[in-house]
Amino acid sequence: MRTRICLFTIGVLTLAACNHHRVQPQPVADTPKALEDNSPSAKLISKRGDGDLVESLYGELAGTDAGLKQLETTLDALSQSKSDSTNLFHQFDAKNQSYYKAAGQHANIISDSLLKDKVRQLVADHLATYNAVTARHQELLKAIDAKTTKLEDLHAVLKIVKTLPVMEKYQKDNRPGTASLEGYSQKQDGAVGDLNKMVNQ
């Protein structure tokens, strides 16, 4: 019985050793760096279990495609200049809103109810006038925010559309055969058979 167990253990260790020393398929020469097994992206995916291959692949494409590179430069410039274009009004509006809020609080502490109502109405009228003269500013800010969202959506779509063909080519050029899987499955079948014989003896 002890001899059988030793033989079985040797068989399992041999199976594991064969599996450990299997030859890794070499990637095709023009495989993107993000998809190579020794790339930083691949190591990151291996360690964390996930990774943004879309961003990695698109970054490689944008580094070599003049059109994409120019587009990314334009989008970066737009993103950086947004705050420069909107901050002036945001600061102006914040001061006005702060004033009208404080004016309302001051009006509320007036003890004479008739005078309080008059002052409240005065503040409300001035706020309405302010809102009217800045309505165009508010409309433009809403339009800018909507366009920012649209740009982000289209940018995401572009990254997917540009990287899908890269993945398709990678799949076509680097898909492993089934020989190693079939060979390992057959070795498992053999080990199962050996176990069944030992258990049933």
pLDDT in tens, 94-130: 999 999 999 999 999 999 999 999 999 999 999 999 9
19 has a pLDDT exceeding 70? no
C-alpha distances (whole Å) from 142 to each of 60, 82, 148, 163 are 34, 13, 10, 32
CB burial of residue 106 (10 Å; 0-12, 13-18, 19+):
exposed
The two most distant CA atoms of the chain are separated, in Å, by 107
Q: What is the pLDDT of residue 200?
A: 87
* Mean pLDDT of all residues in 159-171: 96
Q: What is the pLDDT of residue 23?
A: 45
Q: What is the pLDDT of residue 8?
A: 47
At residue 201 the predicted structure's pLDDT band, cuts being 50, 70 and 90, is: confident
* Mean pLDDT of all residues in 153-159: 98
Q: What is the pLDDT of residue 36?
A: 85
* Mean pLDDT of all residues in 65-81: 96
44 has a pLDDT exceeding 50? no
- Whole-angstrom Cα distance, residue 91 to residue 97? 10
* Mean pLDDT of all residues in 177-185: 94
Per-residue DSSP letter, 34? G
49 has a pLDDT exceeding 70? no
Q: What is the pTM of this model?
A: 0.70
Query: Inter-axis angle of helices 135-174 and 113-133, to 10 degrees?
Result: 50
Average pLDDT in the chain: 85
